[in-house]
Structure 1
Amino acid sequence: MSASPAIRGFVTSMILDAARALPEESRRRVFALVPAPTLALIESTSRLGWIPMEESMKLTDALHGVLGNPGYRRFFSRLADRLIDAPLLHSLFDAAVRLFGLTPQALFKWSTHAWDQAFRHIGRLTYQLQHQGPNGGRIDMVWEGIPPLMLRGGTFEESLAGTFEMFLRRVSREGHVHMRPAPASEKSRRVYEVTWK
């Protein structure tokens, strides 16, 4: 039996805080869908503790359902901007910027290391540079070995796309994040094509 997917307490706590900051009607609709024991678990887990992904997704699925795809991706893109400054990730981020500069390549390489700090047993994220030049570039971010839970309803897929959009904003680049459709033979694999100019 494979280990259960989990997420760091500080990540889910920050998602909860962002959900509580939504406009009143959206906030009311989201929290009507989240079980009280899930909220209690999120609130009682230490920042470095682990929360079962199934519990965390009761909150993110509710956000996704209420906000819809574009709204949820925007919500998560703004949240990711704050997550990158969280103590556990910020030192890794600073080190990447010092070593490689504030470039799309540096941030996307960094994300594969931050992945292991924020998640466990949800698959592997890899960076593949496809093209770079003075007029832009393209990176493929490949997520492999994905447990079925993580693909439920597209919630995590959209949050990851929103995070990648934030990376482009963080380096002041115009770009696009496109999730390539997965062939039937690759159900546990997703490729995010990131282009910028």
Structure 2
Amino acid sequence: MAVLPLIATPGASLTLLIQHVTEGGRRQALPVVLGTVTGLYVHAGLAVAGLSALVMHSSQAFTAVKLVGAAYLIGLGIWTWRSAAPKAAPSHRPSLRRANSVYVQALLANVLNPKAAAIYLTLVPQFIAPRQSFGGQILTLATAHALLIAAWLAVWTVLIRRASRTLRTPRFKQISARVTSAVLIALGVRSAVT
């Protein structure tokens, strides 16, 4: 329950989900969800290994990760803006290459987000029992987090698909891509300055 408000706060994963489901249909939700969930497990693994704690306690390392993540989000936003030009109607059968690209975008958006790492360093330790397996507990909590975010993104996928008639118009897709771009750039700038 403690992670629900963090999941419900719109961020890069939801922004990518809206963009890709709008452009390519509901099948594009899967690589976004898988990339996001993989990113959570990366953070959990780094927390177990103690690397996240090192980054969070070293101001230079934290700043470097934060700036790389901010640059990635801004770059992704600029790329999305530039690709928002009107195009012919896309096929609703995504290629393997496209799915891999979406997966990598979602993975990097999560892994390069220092606030996602902070969850495993600030929130998770409050739920760890000292006399039990540290790694097992973090894995259990990461799995609960992954299931919740997957369910949240699935609900959004259904909502987006229900509005599919409107979402399929080229004009809406262009507006959606531009809004997505602006959100990604804003998230990147916010990450860089906070």
Instruction: State the TM-score, normalized to the length of structure 1.
Output: 0.28
User: RCO (CA 8 Å, sep 6+): is it higher in 1 or 2?
Assistant: 2
Higher helix share: 2
Instruction: State the TM-score, normalized to the length of structure 2.
Output: 0.28
Pair member with larger Rg: 2
Higher strand share: 1
